[in-house]
Amino acid sequence: MNAGLHELPLVLFTVLAQSAVGAIMLMAVYLLLPTDNPPRQRKVILFLLLPLILLGLAFVASIMHLGSPLRAFNSLNRIGESALSNEIAGGMLFFAVAGLYWLLHFIKKMPSALDKLWLVLVIAYGCLFMFIMSSVYLISTVPTWDNPYTPSAFLLTAILSGFALGYALLRFADVTPVQLRFVPPILLLALVAAILLTVSQAFSLSDIQTSVQKASTLVADYGNMMMVRIALLFVGIGLLFYSRSIQSGARLSLCLCVLCILFAELIGRTLFYGLHMTAGTAIGS
C-alpha cells in the first residue's frame, strides 16, 4: 500500500470531505422529516457542527497538498475551465451554505420560511460537490482512474463512512433507532456494492497496461489490503447493528463503528492513489 502514501493529504481530503458531506446530507434528510420534538431537532442541528469541523479539516489537508494557502486561492482562477478550480469552489460553496445554516440556527436567526428550502439546498450542493470531486479524477491519460469505478467508489465512501457518522451523531442527539430504521439497510446495500465493485475492479486491472507497465503490478499487496478493508467494513456495520439492540454501551459501539468504516475507506483511497499510472503510447485491453 506504500504506493499511495505519497498522496496522503489527498487521501485525507477526499475521504474526510466525502464522509462529512454524507453525514451532513443524512442529518439534513432527518431535519426535513416532520417532527413534533423541536428540542431534539435543535440538538441535531448543534451536532451538525461536528461534520462541518471534519470538512474544515479536509480543506486543511487539501492545502497541505497544494503546499501553501495562497496556492489554494490561486487555484480558483480558472473556475469553469479547470476541474481542480471547480472542486475547490464547489467545496467552499457547500461549506458556506451548510455552515451558514448551522450558524443562523445557533444564533436563532433562521427564518422559519427558509428552513426547509435551505436544507434542500444543502443536499443539492452536497451532491454537486461529490460530482465535481469525482470528475477531477476522470482523466483520459490515467486509465486506472478514467472509468465508472472512480465515481462509484467516491459515492460509496460518502454513503458508508458519511452515513455511519451521521447515524452516530443523530443517535447521540437522542434520535431513536426506529426513526433511523432506513439507514442500516442502505449501509448493507452499500457494503454489497463495495464488495462487488472491489472484485470487478480487481479483474479489470489485468486488462489495463501501457507500453511500459501493467496496472495489476502497481500495488503489490492490493488484494490483501482490500480484504482488510472489506473486513473492517463488515465489523463497522456489524457494530452499528449491534448498537441497535443494546442500551448500555451503544455510543461506544457507534464510535467504534465510525472508526472502523473510516479507516477502511482510508485504506481503499490509499490504494486508489497507488493505482495511478499515465498512459504511454498505447493502452492494451
Domains and CATH numbers, the chain: 2-275 (1.20.1630.10)
User: Residues 13-26: pLDDT tens digits?
Assistant: 999 999 999 999 99
User: Residues 41-61: pLDDT tens digits?
Assistant: 999 999 999 999 999 999 888
pLDDT above 90 coverage of the chain, percent: 64
Q: Which of 36-45, 50-59, 66-75, 146-155 has the lowest mean pLDDT?
A: 66-75
Position 69 confidence tier, pLDDT thresholds 50, 70, 90: low
User: Residues 242-261: pLDDT tens digits?
Assistant: 999 888 889 999 999 999 99
Position 262 confidence tier, pLDDT thresholds 50, 70, 90: very high
Residue range 200-217: mean pLDDT, rounded = 79
The overall average pLDDT reported for the chain is 88
Rg (alpha carbons) of the chain, rounded to whole number: 20
pLDDT given for residue 249 in this prediction: 82
User: Residues 167-207: pLDDT tens digits?
Assistant: 999 999 999 999 999 999 999 999 999 999 999 998 888 87
**pLDDT higher than threshold 60 for residue 34:** yes
pLDDT given for residue 63 in this prediction: 78
Cβ pair 213, 277 in contact under 8 A: yes
Cα(98)–Cα(93) distance, integer angstroms: 9
Position 113 confidence tier, pLDDT thresholds 50, 70, 90: confident
